[in-house]
Structure 1
Amino acid sequence: MTPLCRRLPTAGAASPFVHIRRQHTSPPAAICDIRRFHQTEQPGFALRVRLRRHLPVLLAEATGHGGAWERSVEGEEEENARPRVGELEPASGRGSVNRTAEVVAAAAVTVVMGVGNRVMYKLALVPLKQYPFFLAQLATIGYVIVYFSILYIRYRTGIVTDEMLSVPKTPFLFVGLLEALGAATGMAAGAMLSGASIPILSQTFLVWQIFLSIVFLGRRYKVNQLLGCFLVTVGVIITVASGSGAGKSLKEAGIFWSLLMIVSFLFQAADTVLKEVIFLDATRKLKGGSLDLFVVNSFGSAFQALFICLLLPFLSRLWGIPFSQLPNYLKDGAACFLNVGTLSSGCDGAPLLPLLFIIVNMGFNISLLHLLKISSAVVSCLASTFAVPISIYVFTLPLPYLGIASSLPTGFLAGAIILIMGLLIYTWTPSNGSSNSSLAAPT
C-alpha cells in the first residue's frame, strides 16, 4: 500500500464523499482510498451504487481527471459482473435453457400427478361410493392439518421466514372463498350432469385462464400460443366426447346446469390467477425473495375449510343429505373409511385407497402450485389438461377394484393427436421472438 493511502473516516455512509471533497485527494490517492474502504469496510449494495455514481463527479471537481477513473471503475464493475466459473448468464444462454428445462420437468411431474389424482379418486370411491361427501370433507380437513404441519417444520428449519409469514392475509381469504365457491357450484352442477360431459365443460377453464391473465396480469399471448390452447381444447373434447354420448347428456341436463358448471370453472380459474398475483406481489415485497409454496397452500386451505363449514347446509343438500342427518352421515362415513363396524362389508379397500387418494391429491396440488409459481396459470392449466386423455387410456388397463376395464372412445387417437399438436404449437417459439421460451413466460 502506497504512502498516499490513508484510513477513510467511517462515521457514516457519506464519509467517503465528504473526505474527497474536503481533502481534494489526487486521483492515485483517491483510488487507493476508495479501494481500501471497499476492502475493509465492505459497504452494502446501496453504498457501492453511490460510490460508482458520485466518484467521477467528485474527482472531476477535485482534479479535473474524472474520466479515466470513471472508465477504471466501470471496467472493474463489468469484470465483477461477469459470471464466475460454474455460474450462468442470467438473461440468455444456459440460464434460459435451464429455466425452460425446469418448467418442462415441473410440467411433466404435474401431468403424472394429475393422472394419478384422477385414477386414485376413482379407486377411492370404490369403498366410499356411498360417502363421496365425507371423502371431500375429510380431504379438506386433512389438507389443513398436513399443510400447516409442513409449514411449521419448514419454519423451524429456516426455509420459511418471518417475512414470508407477515405477507397480507387478505388475498388468502379470497383464495379460500373462490375455492369454496368453485367446489359448491361444481358439486351442484356435477350432481345433475353426466360424467362424460364434465371433462368437456372443464375445457372452459383454459379459456377463463387466458381471459383473466390478460385482464388482471396484463399478459399478452402470441398467435401460436392462442392457437395451441384452442387445439388443446378441441383435442380434449374430441377425446372425451367420441362415443360417449356427451352431447346428448348435455342437452338432457339443460342449459342451466351446464352454465353453472362453467361458472364453477370461472371460480377455479380466478383462484389460480389470484395465486399467481400473490407470488408476483410477494417477490416485490420480499425484495426478490420467493414466497414458499406452503404459505400459500396452508392459509388458502384454512380459509377454504372455513367457508366450506359455512356452506355445509347448502353442500349437504346438494348431495341429498338433510342437514339434520349430517352428523349420522359423517359418522357412518368414518366407520366405512376405517373399515370397522356393521358397514364394513361394502368398504373393501378402505382406508388404504382413500388415504392414497388424499396423498396423491396433495402431491398434485403442490406440483401444480409449483408449476404456477415458476411459469404461469395457463401453462399449469395446460399440464393439468394433458392429464385428461392419459387418464382415459389408463382406465382401459386392468386396474384393481374397478372390475372390467373400459374401452377407448372411437375418436381417442384423433383427439390425442390434435391435443399434442396444440401443445407443440403453444411451446413453439418463432425465430424472431423476443423471449427464449414461450413456455416459461407468455408475452
Structure 2
Amino acid sequence: MLSMPKAPFVATFLVWQILLSIIFLGRRYRVNQLFGCFLVAIGVIITVASGSNPGHSLKGAGIFWSLLMIVSFLLQAADTVLKEVIFLDAAQRLKGGVDLFVVNSYGSAFQALFICLLLPFLSKLWGIPFSQLPIYLRDGAACFLNLGTLSSGCDGAPLLPLLFVLVNMGFNISLLHLLKISSAIVSSLASTFSVPISVYVFTLPLPYLGVASSLPTGFVAGAVILVMGLLIYSWTPTASPSSACSSSAN
C-alpha cells in the first residue's frame, strides 16, 4: 500500500509512463485517456492521504527527497515501458513470444543483485552500521522461519511471509500478463485499483492485524474518483454517422 509522502507523487509515475510511451513507442493518447489518468492519480492520492496528514509529511520530506522520489518514478516508469517494448519485439521476432516467468525472473534477479550491491549505502540510510548488517540479516531470517525467541512481530511466520511471497508473485505475473496483452499504462491503471482494496482489507478484523480500524474519511470519495478515471480512460468515443459515411466514401 502506498504511504505518505509517496502518494502525492503517483501522478508523476503516470506522467513519466505517458511521456516515455510517446517517445519510444509513438503512442498518441486521446483527451479522455489523459483525463482518466489524471482522475486515477487524484483518486489514489485522496484514498491514501485521507488517513494521514499530507501537508506535514510533504513538509518533512524536503525538496531533495521529493525530487529523488520523482526521479525514482521515472526509473519505474522506464521499467514498465521497456517491458512493453520487449513484449512487442518478441511478438514479432519469436513465434510464441517471450515467457512471462522469464521476464519476471530476470527482473527479480537484477533487483536482488542491485540491492546486494547497494547494501552499504542502504544500510547507512536505514541507520544500521554496515558491520552489524549480518546480525540483522540473521535475525530477519530467524524471524522469517519463526526460529528462536524473537519479538512478537514474528507471529504467523513462516506461513504469513510465504503467503505474502506467493500473492506478490501472482500479482506481479498478472500485471505482466496484462502489460503483454495491452500496454504499460493499462497495467498501471489496473494496479492502482488495488489501493482502495488494500485500504479496505486492512480495516477488517483479520488475524495478526490487531484491532480493526475504521475507514478513512475520504476513502469512498477517492475510490469513486479512481473508478471514474478508469471508466473514462477505457471509454471509446463512437464515430458519428456522418464521419463514418465520409470515411467509407474515401
**In the alignment, does 2:18 pair up with 1:197?**
no
Distance 2:106 2:125 in 1: 27
Distance 1:397 1:345 in 2: 21
Distance 2:60 2:50 in 1: 17
Equivalent residue, structure 2, for 1:307: 114
Verify the 8 A CA contact 1:242 1:410 in the aligned structure 2: yes
Q: Secondary structure at the match of 1:342?
A: coil
1:351 to 158, 161, 183: 158
Query: 1:282 corresponds to which letter in structure 2?
Result: A
1:264 to 68, 72, 81: 72
Equivalent residue, structure 2, for 1:35: none
Please give the per-residue CA displacement for 1:228-269, whole angstroms capped at 9, x wherever unaligned: 111111122222223521122111221221221222221111
Distance 1:344 1:414 in 2: 38
Equivalent residue, structure 2, for 1:27: none
Verify the 8 A CA contact 1:235 1:416 in the aligned structure 2: yes
**In the alignment, does 2:103 pair up with 1:296?**
yes
Please give the per-residue CA displacement for 1:357-412, whole angstroms capped at 9, x wherever unaligned: 11111111101111100000000000111111121122221121111222222222
Moved more, 297-306 or 246-255: 297-306
RMSD (Å), alpha carbons: 1.9
- Runs of 4+ residues over 6 Å off in structure 1: none
Please give the per-residue CA displacement for 1:101-131, whole angstroms capped at 9, x wherever unaligned: xxxxxxxxxxxxxxxxx5xxxxxxxxxxxxx
Q: Secondary structure at the match of 1:294?
A: helix
Equivalenced residue count is 240
**In the alignment, does 2:127 pair up with 1:320?**
yes
**In the alignment, does 2:27 pair up with 1:219?**
yes
Cα pair distance change 1:346/1:270, threshold 3 Å: closer
Distance 2:231 2:149 in 1: 54
Q: Secondary structure at the match of 1:225?
A: helix
Q: TM-score w.r.t. structure 1 length?
A: 0.52
Query: 2:35 corresponds to which letter in structure 1?
Result: L
Query: 2:213 corresponds to which letter in structure 1?
Result: S
Equivalent residue, structure 2, for 1:377: 184
RCO higher in structure (CA 8 A, sep ≥6)? 2
**In the alignment, does 2:56 pair up with 1:252?**
no
Please give the per-residue CA displacement for 1:13-64, whole angstroms capped at 9, x wherever unaligned: xxxxxxxxxxxxxxxxxxxxxxxxxxxxxxxxxxxxxxxxxxxxxxxxxxxx
Q: Secondary structure at the match of 2:27?
A: coil
Distance 2:236 2:146 in 1: 53
**In the alignment, does 2:242 pair up with 1:242?**
no
Distance 1:290 1:399 in 2: 41
Q: TM-score w.r.t. structure 2 length?
A: 0.89
Q: Secondary structure at the match of 1:364?
A: helix
Equivalent residue, structure 2, for 1:413: 220
Please list every run of 5 or more consecutive structure 2 residues that lacks an aligned counterpart in the other structure.
241-250
Q: Secondary structure at the match of 1:203?
A: helix
Cα pair distance change 1:303/1:330, threshold 3 Å: same
Structure whose CA Rg is larger: 1
Q: Secondary structure at the match of 2:6?
A: helix
Query: 1:397 corresponds to which letter in structure 2?
Result: L
Distance 1:343 1:353 in 2: 16
Verify the 8 A CA contact 1:212 1:270 in the aligned structure 2: yes
Distance 2:225 2:11 in 1: 14
Equivalent residue, structure 2, for 1:152: none
Shift of 1:314: 1.2
Identity of aligned residues (%): 80
